[in-house]
A and B are shown apart, each in its own frame.
Chain A
């Protein structure tokens, strides 16, 4: 059930990042991403997963190389970003948190109401529009964060270890919800995780990264054909997990 259109959405061309203190966070990263694909980045801490994601979002500039956007010529204005923490404004109600991206573009509350409520209902939280973040569970807060990322109608969703701080059960539920939304909304997703299982379960492509310097060391593709029935219990799933683990070990070997 992959929806790779084959049309490239973005390519990272020989991108590198050296921080001011001399740390080589990323070195020579090449990557082309098809529209509608779901790609995971896995790797040990310090391998530059988050740096790569932030670079694609335009939050940090590459030291060398470039991010290219063949279709739009420039970075699209609508990019959804989901952080490891829900990163909500604690002083604002759920509605106002989701409204934020539209508000920053000057859309008044009443005009935005329909879109905000639609985003909230897609994550199943329309009843909590007037709640404050602290009144919600960790999983619900994460859903608010996802609603906020989709409220602008962004087609590209960048997720930086979004469910890492949640318990296993909540995490698996959110994984399933995310896959459903991905199919409905026609998103392209880049998903950073340090969980081998999560990466295999979610994505069509798993990019394995190594540290010092951060780079992509391997790629495992998961066929749509494997993804049938109870994928988590299938031999194919376990096989892919093994492959990703092996690639990670190889990257960690001296």
Chain B
């Protein structure tokens, strides 16, 4: 039993997953649970294969909106944070509104946004809603990060006559990078959540994303299909998380405490 810790870290959860699936399958079969209550994993898989084309089309809709909202959230969050860091007045004026936008439940704003944007452009409304949910962690973290640069280094930059732009690009942004990446990692998940929630609110006929597939299948009591769509959403969320973790690791591994490997 001298497996490396790395192998154990993968082996343990995988074994657990296989056992759970087997137990699930067995319980459903032995007790004759109807599939509209709890479908067996094999039935879910069959439904996944059967509805593959429509699920993939929906996945593409949800994925593209999530990614666009996420990209715009990064742009908006970092951009606003930079603006705030340049002027205390601008920050004091606008930061409270960013907070208000963040703390108001997105489900409550959604119908309003939908009416404004128009049901014929529901995708745009979904995009806006996902953006609202996703941009705040990036804004808050980057704002904090830009302010957290070493004050002695700041003095040094001033001593050597650095201008604002140089202080921003050479000192503040690199210092803020770990904070920024932390915010971005949270936002990646939130962009997906925001998209899904907004798709639900947008409702039938207007949106064709995965959330819509779930709602539609639910209405028709096609529970295996609901599970299949749910599975896709989970996989999507996991992929986004891992991709962002990888980017974070690659950017910080050489110098930041959080990513540096310790020996021994």
Question: Which A residues are closer than 8 A to B by beta carbons?
Answer: 54, 57-59, 77, 79, 81, 83, 85, 87, 89-92, 100-101, 103-105, 132-134, 152
Beyond contacts A89-B170, A91-B255: 13 other A-B pairs, Cβ-Cβ < 8 A, are: A57-B155, A58-B159, A81-B156, A87-B152, A89-B153, A91-B254, A101-B160, A103-B170, A104-B157, A104-B160, A104-B161, A104-B166, A105-B160
Considering the complex, give the chain B residue whose CB is closest to the CB of A148. B156
The answer for the CA separation of A125 and B155 in the assembled complex, in Å, is: 25
Secondary structure class of chain A's binding surface, majority of residues: loop
Within 8 A of A (CB), among B161-203: 161-162, 166, 170-171, 174, 177
* Distance in angstroms between the alpha carbons of A87 and B151 in the assembled complex: 9
Residues of A within 8 A of B256 (CB): 90-91
Among A57, A87, A104: residue with most chain B CB under 10 A: A104
Q: Inside 8 A of B161's CB, which chain A residues have their CB?
A: 77, 104-105
Q: Report whether A100 and B159 are in contact in the complex, using a CB–CB cutoff of 8 Å.
A: no
Q: How far is the CA of A100 from the CA of B166 in the complex (A)?
A: 11
Cα distance, A215 to B161, chains bound together (Å): 29
A85 touches B152 (CB 8 A): yes
Asked whether, in the complex, the Cβ of A59 is within 8 Å of the Cβ of B159, the reply is yes
Listed by A's residue number, 24 A-B pairs whose Cβ atoms lie within 8 Å are A54-B155, A57-B155, A58-B159, A59-B158, A59-B159, A77-B161, A79-B159, A83-B152, A87-B152, A87-B156, A89-B153, A89-B170, A89-B171, A89-B174, A90-B255, A91-B254, A91-B255, A103-B170, A104-B160, A104-B162, A105-B161, A132-B254, A133-B255, A134-B260
Interface residues of B (CB under 8 A from A): 150, 152-153, 155-162, 166, 170-171, 174, 177, 254-256, 260
* Known contacts A91-B255, A104-B161, A104-B162: A59-B155 contact under CB 8 Å: yes
How close is A210's CB to chain B, nearest CB, in angstroms? 25
**Least Cβ distance of B170 to chain A in Å?**
7
Give B259 Cβ to nearest chain A Cβ, in Å: 11
* CB atoms of A87 and B159 under 8 A apart: no
| Residues of chain A with a CB closer than 8 A to B162's CB | 104
Residues of B within 8 A of A87 (CB): 150, 152-153, 156
- A57-B156 Cα distance, complex, nearest whole Å: 10
Whole-angstrom CA separation of A75 from B177 in the bound complex? 35
B151 to chain A, nearest CB (A): 10
Residues of B within 8 A of A100 (CB): 156, 160, 170
Report the nearest B residue to A85, measured CB to CB: B152
Find chain B residues with CB under 8 A from A92 CB: 174
CB nearest to A77 among chain B residues: B161
CB-CB < 8 A to B159: which residues of A? 57-59, 79, 81
CA distance A152 to B160 in the complex (A): 10
In chain B, what residue has the closest Cβ to A134?
B255
The smallest C-beta distance from B252 to any residue of chain A, in angstroms, reads 9
In the complex, how many angstroms separate the beta carbon of A211 from the nearest chain B beta carbon?
Answer: 22
Most chain B CB within 10 A, of A79, A91, A133, is at A91
